[in-house]
Structure formats: structure tokens, C-alpha cells
Amino acid sequence: MKLGAQIDDHTYEVEIKRDGSRISASIDGREYELEASEPESGVYLLKHENRVFEVYVSPDGMVNVGGHQLEVKISDPKRLRGGRGDAEHGDGTAEIKTAMPGKIVRILVAEGDEVEKGDGVIVVEAMKMQNEMKAPKAGIVKQIGVKEGDTVNAGDILAAIE
């Protein structure tokens, strides 16, 4: 599978081949052999040269590796050819959901607020990391289903944007 990964202002060419838990990855021509597991949704353990890295991937594209938080945007050239891209949410409602259990730390918007795609909506703490859940599209915040201090489970709907 060939992908593009944008981190900050740089785009990397990524090719991934998977055979069970073994992964061969090429990133801008550098080769890596990894073993991977997903102990829970959004959490990955990657073993490379006898070192284990815990990687948390939030639904909003934030990736946390060893305490370093990065915003990673993945593009799949095959999906871009015939895909729906940003139109995926169309005129309908986009829901912001949690990828893992956590606690609501801050709510950054109110119902009725107008948001742009990528604006912060809610901050969730999971595994001692705070993750800002971002708006998947521009629109109006129609619902906030949680309040600060609430405990949430994986897959819970936190907010809806129309």
C-alpha cells in the first residue's frame, strides 16, 4: 500500500507491506522491519530492533509517540482518484467520537458555535495524555453530549456538527 504522510510542512512517501503482525515499511526510501499489535482501538505497539514504541492514534489525526504529539495527515492516492474526500460528511451531521476510554478535560465550544474544519472542539485525557478532538468539517455545533469531568468509553459520541 502506497501512501503520503504529511507532518508539519513535509510530505513523506510511505509504502507498507503487512504479513500478519510483521510490517515492512519504506519511508522516503528508508526501510524498516516492525512487529505490530493493537491491544486496544487506536493504540499500537510497534517493535523495532528490540525496542517497543507505544503509539496512540486519535480519530482527529493526532499521533502520540513517546510523549511527542504530531498531527499526521495521510493521503491514499488510490482513494483520491475516485474518493469522496472532504465531501464524505456532505451536508449531513459529522460526529466526533472517542477512540478509547478517557475523561473530558475541557469543552472548547458551545452548542450553536460555528467551527471550521480542524478547530478544537473537546479535550479528552486518555492514558495520561490530553488529546484535542477536532472538527472533521466546517459547520455549526449542533450537540455536545458530554460535560467537563465526564468519563467516556471508546466509541462514545462527544459532539455533532452539521
The predicted-structure confidence for 115-155, as pLDDT tens digits, reads as follows: 998 899 999 988 778 888 888 899 999 999 999 999 998 77
Give CA–CA dist 28/31, Å, rounded.
Answer: 9
- Segment (H or E) for 82: helix 77-82
Q: Which residues of the chain have pLDDT under 50?
A: 80-89
Q: What is the pLDDT of residue 142?
A: 94
Domain ranges of the chain: 2-79, 89-161
What's the predicted TM-score (pTM) here? 0.48
Domain 89-161 fold is: OB fold (Dihydrolipoamide Acetyltransferase, E2P) (2.40.50)
Q: What is the pLDDT of residue 1?
A: 75
Domain 2-79 fold is: Glycoprotein, Type 4 Pilin (3.30.700)
Using only the alpha carbons of the chain, give its radius of gyration: 17
